[in-house]
């Protein structure tokens, strides 16, 4: 793989960008776990008090955090550092899956698409981090 890295970008990415990718990856993974586990947890009567986790505000907070972190991390990395489209494509695919999961067709629809979308976003941050790390090793 050939990466276009420059010294100015290297100086910036060593301080800021890995942080965004680590947090973005973690938030997306937590979102996937949240979306997959909450329906199971709420079905147990003793854990019924956790129903607030299925509230739309909690879900939209996760989605908003994921979108902000993706914009802060993936876009500048693509434009200024590694110029690889894979993280952008994965992130867009993930957000499209999450958007499609909001269409209420069936409960299973949301339970499959939302975690799949969150995992796509987590993988996008992982690849972005790997591409930035490759830039770092070139210098």
What is the tens place of the pLDDT at every residue in 19-42? 777 777 777 777 777 777 766 666
DSSP annotation string for 83-111? --SHHHHHHHHHHHHHHHHTS-S-HHHHH
State residue 40's pLDDT score: 67
| Predicted TM-score of the model (pTM) | 0.71
Ranges of the chain whose pLDDT falls below 70: 1-18, 38-54, 136-139
Secondary structure (3-state) at 4 = coil
All structural domains of the chain with their residue ranges: 7-138
What is the tens place of the pLDDT at every residue in 87-99? 999 999 999 999 9
Comparing CA positions, the residue from 83, 74, 56 lying closest to residue 121 is 74
CA distances from 73 to 5, 56, 139 (A): 16, 26, 21
Query: Dihedral sign, CA of 62, 68, 72, 76?
Result: positive
């Amino acid at each position: 793989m050939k990466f276009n890295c420059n010294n100015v970008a290297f100086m910036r990415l060593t301080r800021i960008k890995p942080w965004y990718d680590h947090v973005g990856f973690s938030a997306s993974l937590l979102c996937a776990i949240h979306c997959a586990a909450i329906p199971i947890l709420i079905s147990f009567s003793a854990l019924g008090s956790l129903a607030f986790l299925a509230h739309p505000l909690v879900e939209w907070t996760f989605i908003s955090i994921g979108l902000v972190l993706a914009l802060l991390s993936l876009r500048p990395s693509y434009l200024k550092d590694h110029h690889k489209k894979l993280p952008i494509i994965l992130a867009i695919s993930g957000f499209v899956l999450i958007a499609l999961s909001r269409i209420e067709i069936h409960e299973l629809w949301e339970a499959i698409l939302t975690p799949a979308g969150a995992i796509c976003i987590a993988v996008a941050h992982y690849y972005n981090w790997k591409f930035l790390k490759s830039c770092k090793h070139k210098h």
